A and B are shown apart, each in its own frame.
Chain A
Amino acid sequence: MRLLQVNLRSLLLCLLVLVAVSIPVSFFAIREILNEEVDESLALHSDQFVKHIKTFEYLEDLEMDLGIWDQLSYDITITPTLEPGNEHLYRNVSMFDSVEHELRPFRTLTTPVEIRNKHYLLTIRMSLVDNDQLVIVLASVQVVIVVLLALALLLLNRRLTERLWRPFYHTLNQLKAYELDKNESIEPATTKVVEFQDLNKAVSHLTDRNRKIYLQQKEFIENASHELQTPLAIFHSKLDILMQNPSINEEAANTIGELEDAAQRMTRLNKSLLLLSKIDNDQFADSVNVDLSLVAQRIVDNLRTLSDLGEIAISVKAQPVVVTANYSLMEILLTNLFHNAVRYTAQNGVVNVLLADRTLTISNIGAPLKMDTDRIFDRFTKEGVHANSTGLGLSIVKKICDYSGFKVSYLYAGNRHQFTVVF
């Protein structure tokens, strides 16, 4: 549920409760005010009537006139009484409404009056607002208000989502699309809303900082690999010198040989790491049109002399496939894939290379892998122990494919390991 919907829902709920409470409250309030007004009006009416009558006190037959008045007038009764009252008495009564054929509420005021030393009770009545009608009117007014308010809120909500929240969604979408290794920074939309400004500031700060750390890390790996080259060179050179010593015995010679193997392994590992970080650092940006079939043929020709010794046949079926990519990377890509296939092919085995329709397939027969094949392109995942394998060859393949926009996949089917690159 969206934040604004939550907001709207609470607002509407609150509105409903308020309206539900306001109907009885306003009903009673309005009725009270009306009754008060009616009472005041009755009191005034009664007072003025009495004063008016008093001006006619000189008339002899006033008593009879009052009797006639009582008979003729609808809303005033004036009846003689024996007891001299002194209280104003307000009462609610119901009377039949002959027009609407129903009982209607009336308010009456009974006042004791003394005219020509005789006591009368003057009763004046006025029609009151019908309670039922009042409730109906009040309720319908409130319902209309509620509906209008709800509609207004809904419209406002929609507008707010579109307008007010635009910078928020802009930032959110940029965050979703953000990739640390791409050289794009987040550019938040300008906004006057303080919260969004804060959010944008925080997001920019966070991404810039992460990016900086990431770049430092990348730079560090490259620098570290570079810096390692010199001590490795010294190490190699010292071994070469040591080897020349004629007095070394067989055991020492073996040790030196083993040291050299280890040094070479370090060198290869370091070169692979350097290559990975160079790709990361975008140092292979220049692209040319490369005919992969020519590259493949050249690599296979070089490999043949080697594979002949292991009686491994390399069968190549290649049609010209031209891609726009970095030449060195393409060489490395194919070399690594071919090396991988040759390395894991048993004696008298065959490596099949098929290049056509922008797809390269390299397959060889072999036992299924024991490792998790989803991790086959991860760094330092090796099947078995090959002293000369760095465990980086396939991750370099993956990196080059990602970098060049190719798709590489591994499949084991029918006793064959198969790597496919779609260009």
Chain B
Amino acid sequence: MKILIIEDEKELVKSMTQFLRQESYVCEVAYTESEAREKILLYDYDCILLDVSLPDGSGLKILETLRLNRKADGVIIITAKNSLEDRVTGLNLGADDYLAKPFYLPELVARVSAVIRRKRFDGNNTLSVHEISIDLLGKAVSVHGKHIELTRKEYDLLLFLVSNKNRVVSKNAIAEHISGDDAELLDKYDFIYSHIKNLKKKVAEAGGVDYIKTVYGLGYKFTT
């Protein structure tokens, strides 16, 4: 799957490509608007990560061009300006998602895979990892074909971990993903721990393998 990263910060681009490549994504990079325009004219991408502020112009202009040319590439806008207007403008121009800097790379991966899944949607709306299958439309999970009852947060947690399978995902990244702004209160309780514990228990009860490993001092890892 091909991803185009349009971003002028070279170090950030390096981290993003490095992280995304592990998930068998092919990453191409454009550091400027002109470079980006060249690339999107020549090739089709599954997902484009688009920085709004580029040295030679605005990323939103690229998005406009993309949509004018009826390109179906999924687009995630990345911006340092976490403002509502930017978000609304971006989404109105046809962006699929919006991510504010700074972000966790697992969050980026989760967003990218969600966009790609949506674009590649061909009657198959389930995501399967061994005996676990996740119904993305119905937001339901089954193990060995047996439905298990998960809370909204547990479902989000499982999907997030599966999207980042075989990667260490930090507790902070998980907290931010499933609780957003409320994450800043989570230090008070071992919130993530109890959700993970419940999730593991439910999967185990349905006869599933315990794929979620604790990485001491850091977070968790869904190992396949």
Residues of A participating in the B interface, judged by any CB pair closer than 8 Å: 226-227, 229-230, 232-241, 243-244, 250, 253-254, 256-257, 260-261, 263-264, 267-268, 271, 274, 278, 283, 302-303, 305-306, 309-310, 328, 335, 339, 342-343, 386-389
Contacts and interface: CB of A to CB of B under 8 A. Distances in A.
Given A244-B167, A387-B187, A254 B84 contact: no
B103 A243 contact: no
17 contacts: A227-B80, A230-B12, A233-B9, A244-B22, A257-B170, A260-B172, A268-B184, A283-B83, A303-B182, A306-B179, A306-B185, A328-B84, A335-B182, A339-B184, A343-B188, A388-B186, A389-B184
A232 B101 contact: yes
Contacts of B171: 257
Contacts of B194: 309
B185 A240 contact: no
Contacts of B215: 243, 253
A237 B80 contact: no
Give the size range of B's interface with the partner. 35 or more
Contacts, number: 122
A249 B43 CA distance: 43
B105 A388 contact: no
B209 interface: no
Given A229-B100, A278-B83, 10 more contacts: A229-B102, A234-B9, A243-B168, A274-B82, A306-B186, A309-B191, A386-B187, A387-B187, A388-B184, A388-B186
Contacts of A306: 179, 182, 185-186, 189, 191
B168 A233 contact: no
Nearest to B81: A226
A233 B216 CA distance: 24
Interface stretch (B13-21, B55-63, B111-119, B131-139): B13-21
A309 B15 contact: no
B153 interface: yes
B181 to A, nearest CB: 6
Interface in B70-96: 80-84
Contact of A388 (B168, B187, B219): B187
A274 B84 CA distance: 13
Given A229-B80, A240-B19, A253-B217, A339 B168 contact: no
Contacts of A328: 84
Contacts of A278: 83
A283 B86 CA distance: 12
Nearest to B175: A264
Residue among B104, B189, B217, B219 with the highest chain A CB neighbour number at 10 A: B217
Given A257-B218, A387-B187, A235 B102 contact: yes
Contacts of A342: 185, 188
A237 B15 contact: yes
B82 to A, nearest CB: 7
A146 B189 CA distance: 89
A286 to B, nearest CB: 9
B221 to A, nearest CB: 9
A240 B102 contact: no
Contacts of B81: 226
A343 B184 CA distance: 9
Contacts of B83: 278, 283
B182 A302 contact: yes
Nearest to A302: B182
B173 interface: yes
Contacts of A274: 82
A264 B172 contact: yes
A108 B7 CA distance: 122
A250 B216 contact: yes
Contacts of A268: 184
B218 A256 contact: yes
User: Which residue among A229, A233, A306 has the maximum number of chain B CB atoms within 10 Å of its CB?
Assistant: A233
Contacts of B191: 306, 309
B103 A233 contact: yes
Which 9 residue pairs spanning A and B have beta carbons closest together?
Answer: A237-B15, A233-B102, A253-B217, A240-B105, A254-B217, A229-B80, A309-B189, A233-B101, A232-B102
B11 interface: yes
Contacts of B189: 306, 309-310
B170 A271 contact: no
B104 A234 contact: no
Interface in B172-214: 172-173, 176, 179-182, 184-191, 194
B102 A236 contact: yes
Contacts of B104: 236, 240
Given A229-B80, A253-B218, A261 B172 contact: yes
A60 B181 CA distance: 144
Nearest to A331: B181
A240 B170 contact: yes
Contacts of B101: 229-230, 232-233
A236 B99 CA distance: 14
A396 to B, nearest CB: 12
Nearest to A236: B102
Nearest to A256: B218
A207 B185 CA distance: 43
A387 B218 CA distance: 17
Scoring B84, B103, B185 by chain A CB atoms within 10 A of each residue's CB, the highest score goes to B185
Contact of A243 (B11, B82, B218): B218
